[in-house]
Amino acid sequence: MKTRAAVAFAANKPLEIVELDLDGPREGEVLIEVKATGICHTDAYTLSGADPEGLFPAVLGHEGAGVVVDCGPGVSSLRKGDHVIPLYTPECRECEYCLSRKTNLCQKIRTTQGRGLMPDGSSRFRFEGKPVLHYMGTSTFSNYIVVPEIAVAKIRPDAPFDKVCYIGCGVTTGIGAVIWTAKVEAGARAVVFGLGGIGLNVIQGLRLVGAEQIVGVDVNPSKKDLATKFGMTHFVNPKEVEGDLVAHLVELTKGGADYSFDCTGNVNVMRQALECCHKGWGQSIIIGVAPAGAEIATRPFQLVTGRVWKGSAFGGARGRTDVPRIVDWYMDGKINIDDLITHTMPLERINEGFDLMHEGKSIRSVVIY
Ligand code: NAD
Ligand code: DAO
Ligand code: ZN
Ligand code: ZN
C-alpha cells in the first residue's frame, strides 16, 4: 500500500513529505493508521545528526496514537479497530529483562529496532524502490506504520488521538520518572531542572503524588507561569541567583532535595541536580539525553554520603501495562495534557513544529493527519 510520510533523507535537512510504499504486517505485526503524533526533542536530536544511532533515510516520530487497520498472522492481543499507542519501549513479557521486574527495557527486538529495521531484519518502507528505515520502532511521521504487536498499547476508544499521542513519550517519561523510577512519596521536597515538555510532566507527577515542595529551575523565565499552573511551588532562574546555585537550592529545600530530576540533557546541570540532593538519602534522576560522548562528573564523596544517581527511560513504564492507565488518568481529569499542546498542524507543516521547538516557542506541537 501507499502511505504519506515526512521523511528525513539526510541529517540536518528539513523533512520531505512524500508518498512511500509500505508492505503489510507479517507474523506478530500490526498495521496502524496513525491519527496524530507529537514532535519530541529526541526527533530533533536525531535529525540534527548528533545521534550516534541516527540513520538516514528514515521516517522519524515516536509519539503517536492511531487505529489498528490490519493484523498479521499470530497476533492475539489486538484486533482491527483497536485504538492504540505505539511503543518505542516494547513489553514482550517473556524476555529476561521483562521477567526480571527490575527494568522496563524489554530487549526482545532491541537489536533490529536500533538498526531501523523490523524484527525480521527488513524495512517495510520504500521510496522509489529503495528501502527507507524505521525509527525507534515507531516512525509515527508516517500516516500508516507496521509495528510488532509487543510494541503496541491498546487504549480506550473514547480518548482523543490529538491529546493522548503525547502519552507515547513526554507525558509517560515525566510522570513515570516520578512514580516508577523515583517512587516519590507524599510530602517530599523535589527540584526539577528544565521546564519543557518533559519537566512540566515531572511537575504534574510530583503534584499527583502529593509532593510538598516542587522547585522548578529554568534559565527561561517564560516557563514560570505554566509550571506554576502544573504544581510548581517555587521558581528559580539560575541567571538571577547570586552566588552558588546548588547552595541556594539546598537552603531553599531546607537541607537538600529528597528528589531531583534533570530534564535538560546538560551534563553540568546533571551535576547540580545531584549535588542539590539531601545528604544521606537524596536521589537524582537523569531524564535528559546528553550530546553524544558527553560525560557526567561529581566528587565520589557525594555518593559516599548517601546521594543516589539514577537514570530513567520512558519513565520506567512498561508500555502495554502502564500506558492505558495513564490514558485513564487523563480521561478522568487527573492529569492535564491539553495545556501542554501549544500548537497543532497538518503533516505538510511538520517542519514548522521543529522550528517552534528550536525557538523555544512551543511545549508540544502535534501533527494531525
Ligand atoms: P525542552 O527543550 O522542551 O525543555 C528543556 C528546558 O530546559 C527548557 O525550558 C530550557 O529553557 C531548560 N534549560 C536549558 N538549559 C538549562 C539550564 N542550564 N538550567 C536550567 N534549565 C535549562 O526539552 P524536553 O522536550 O522537555 O526534553 C528534555 C530532555 O529530555 C531532552 O534531552 C530529551 O531528549 C529528553 N528525553 C528523555 C526521555 C527519556 O526517556 N529519558 C524521553 C524523552 C525526552
Ligand atoms: O534497551 O538499550 C535499550 C534501549 C533504550 C532506549 C530508551 C530510550 C529512552 C531515551 C531516549 C529518549 C526517547 C524519546
Ligand atoms: Zn520523545
Ligand atoms: Zn521483553
Pairwise CA distance, residues 85 & 159, whole Å: 11
Which amino acid, one-letter code, is at 170? G
pLDDT at residue 104, as a whole number:
98
Ligand 1 pocket, residues with Cβ under 6 angstroms: 40-42, 45, 169, 173, 193-199, 217-220, 223, 238, 263-266, 269, 287-289, 312-314
Crossing angle (nearest 10°) for helices 245-252 and 267-275: 40
Report the percentage of the chain scoring pLDDT > 90: 98
pLDDT at 356 over 90: yes
Nearest ligand to the C-alpha of residue 101? Answer: 4
The CATH class that applies to domain 174-313 reads alpha beta
What ranges do the domains of the chain cover? 2-168+337-368, 174-313
Which stretches within the chain are classed as H helix?
Answer: 41-48, 96-100, 110-114, 161-164, 170-176, 199-209, 224-229, 245-252, 267-275, 301-304, 319-331, 350-358
User: What element of type H or E holds 283?
Assistant: strand 283-286
269 lines ligand 2 (CB under 6 A): no
Question: Which of 49-53, 172-176, 181-185 is the least confident region?
Answer: 49-53
What's the CA-to-centroid distance between 266 and ligand 1, angstroms?
A: 8
For residues 255-272, give the mean pLDDT: 98
Pairwise CA distance, residues 369 & 364, whole Å: 16
pLDDT at 28 over 90: yes
pLDDT at residue 52, as a whole number:
85
Residue 248 annotated as catalytic: no
Nearest to 184 by CA among 197, 202, 201, 164: 202
Report the percentage of the chain scoring pLDDT > 70: 100
Q: Quote the mean pLDDT of the chain.
A: 97
Write the CB contacts of 124 (distance below 8 Å, at least 6 apart in sequence): 22, 23, 118, 134, 146
pLDDT at residue 53, as a whole number:
83
Residue 42 annotated as catalytic: yes
pLDDT at residue 264, as a whole number:
96
Nearest to 337 by CA among 164, 82, 217, 195: 164
Q: Which of 4, 110, 207, 343 is catalytic?
A: 110
pLDDT at residue 161, as a whole number:
98
pTM of this structure: 0.97
Q: 99 in helix, strand or coil? A: helix
Q: Please, what sign has the CA dihedral across residues 329, 286, 219, 49?
A: negative
**pLDDT-based confidence at 51, cuts 50/70/90?**
confident
pLDDT at residue 339, as a whole number:
98
pLDDT at residue 320, as a whole number:
98
| Length reported for the chain | 369
> Which mutation among 169, 204, 264 tests ligand 1's pocket best, with the greatest number of atoms within 8 A of CB?
264
Among protein residues, the one with the nearest Cα to ligand 2's atom 1 is 105
Q: Please, what sign has the CA dihedral across residues 65, 71, 75, 76?
A: positive
Can you tell me which atom of ligand 1 is nearest the CA of 194? Answer: 7
Can you tell me which atom of ligand 1 is nearest the CA of 363? Answer: 3
For residues 273-287, give the mean pLDDT: 98
The model's pLDDT over 11-25, given as tens digits with 9 standing for 90+, comes to 999 999 999 999 999
Can you tell me which atom of ligand 2 is nearest the CA of 314? Answer: 9
- The three-state DSSP-derived secondary structure of 123-171 is CCEEECCEEEECCCCCCCCECEEEEEHHHEEEECCCCCHHHHHHHHCHH
pLDDT at residue 6, as a whole number:
98
For residues 45-58, give the mean pLDDT: 92
- φ, ψ of residue 148 to 5 degrees: the values are -65, 145
ipTM over 0.95: yes
pLDDT at residue 45, as a whole number:
94
Residue 95 annotated as catalytic: yes
CATH H-level, domain 2-168+337-368: superfamily: Medium-chain alcohol dehydrogenases, catalytic domain (3.90.180.10)
Nearest to 44 by CA among 210, 169, 182, 193: 169
Residue 134 annotated as catalytic: no
The model's pLDDT over 283-328, given as tens digits with 9 standing for 90+, comes to 999 999 998 899 999 999 999 999 999 999 999 999 999 999 999 9
Q: Cβ distance 32 to 134 under 8 Å? A: no
What's the CA-to-centroid distance between 53 and ligand 4, angstroms?
A: 21
